[in-house]
Amino acid sequence: MKKLILAAASGIAMTVATPALAADVPQDAAVETVAVEMSDARYALALGAVDAYWPQGNSQYMVNYLAGTFADELLYTPIGELVEKYGLMDAVDDIADMVGAIEEIEATMEGEEGDAEGEEEAANPMQPGPEQMAKGMLAMFEDQRLIDMLGAQDEHLEERITIAREVLNEELPPMFAAAEPEMRKAFAEAFARRFDDQELAAIAAFAATPTGQKYAKEQWVMSFDPAYFKAMIASAPAYIEGMPALVEKMDARMAHLPPMFPEDEDEGEGEEAAEDKEPTAEELIAEAEELEAHAAEILEEAAALRAKAAEL
């Protein structure tokens, strides 16, 4: 139960920082999950509003960006510059702290005492930490580019990249063209559940402007922007560090409720009771007979092997 709470809370925390339609639902809104019955005029309004969220051809635009601009940045920018630009070095310690915090939470949930890995590290104070190891790796490769490092292992790398981009641009557009109408229809129903006609018209009007069209395309690829990436990394430890208090408060609030899965606890208690219980004479005799039968089978096999050996 506690793991379920932790996973759900962590997911919610990360979702609020990600562009998603679900995050825009007002807290006091009762959103229906059934299909929306609407007139053609209202559907047209909702579909116009969708242009501000997922315009036609947006999937292809995202692929073009990831396989083009973003891939080029990763491949052709020196590693040291990438590390600085995306704040990766600053994130090393945060990630290590997150891992340690997660392990501590899991140990607490399971009722475990101590952390074997932490004790091992404490017993080896000379062992380099993640920051020292990362700095050592960076010192070795900071002036190199991924394209050069990978190209050293494959002289045809540039050609492979070119072919991959060509195939993506040839094969993906028809797939997206077939899928996007249904996606946009679903988004239109979602918009219609959350906005009235006046609001839909205002969103659609914005989507029809050059700024609205640019916003609709760029909002999705902005999650790969260095500033956004750095902010996500920087905020993650706070979520993880807050989880123990969240779980403790959740436990306190639910203390008056029976366990969600009582059969699991009963099973565990039953196993412990079985281990502590002294066996009866009948149980000991049954176990002895089982062992004797097994021993007889082994002796029979051994006799067969000796007979075969005598023949040889």
| C-alpha–C-alpha distance, residues 280 and 233, integer Å | 60
How many angstroms separate the Cα of 8 from the Cα of each of 27, 86, 247, 265? Answer: 18, 28, 11, 22
Q: What would the mean pLDDT of 106-113 be, rounded to a whole number?
A: 58
pLDDT at 50: 95
Instruction: Check pLDDT > 80 for residue 290.
Output: yes
Q: Which is higher by pLDDT, 120 or 293? A: 293
User: SS3 sequence, the chain?
Assistant: CHHHHHHHHHHHHHHCCCCCHHHHCCCCCCCCCCCCCCCHHHHHHHHHHHCCCCCCCHHHHHHHHHHHHHHHHHHHCCHHHHHHHCCHHHHHHHHHHHHHHHHHHHHHHHCCCCCHHHHHHHHCCCCCCHHHHHHHHHHHHCCCCHHHHHHCCCCCHHHHHHHHHHHHHHHHHHHHHHHHHHHHHHHHHHHHHHCCHHHHHHHHHHHCCHHHHHHHHHHHHHHHCHHHHHHHHHHHHHHHHHHHHHHHHHHHHCCCCCCCCHHHHHHHHHHHHHHHCCCCHHHHHHHHHHHHHHHHHHHHHHHHHHHHHHHC
Mean pLDDT of all residues in the chain?
A: 77
Q: What average pLDDT does range 26-53 have in this prediction?
A: 71
Domain spans of the chain, in order of start: 2-8+38-114+127-260, 263-311
The token duo for 290 is: 């089982």
Confidence of residue 46 (pLDDT cuts 50, 70, 90): very high
Q: 52 with 206: CB under 8 angstroms?
A: yes
pLDDT of res. 196: 93
CB atoms within 10 A of CB 257: 7
pLDDT of residue 148 exceeding 70, the answer is yes
- Name the residue with higher pLDDT: 186 or 270: 186
How far is it, in rounded angstroms, from Cα 124 to Cα 118?
A: 10
Mean pLDDT throughout 22-35?
41
pLDDT at residue 110 tops 50:
yes
Model pTM score: 0.57
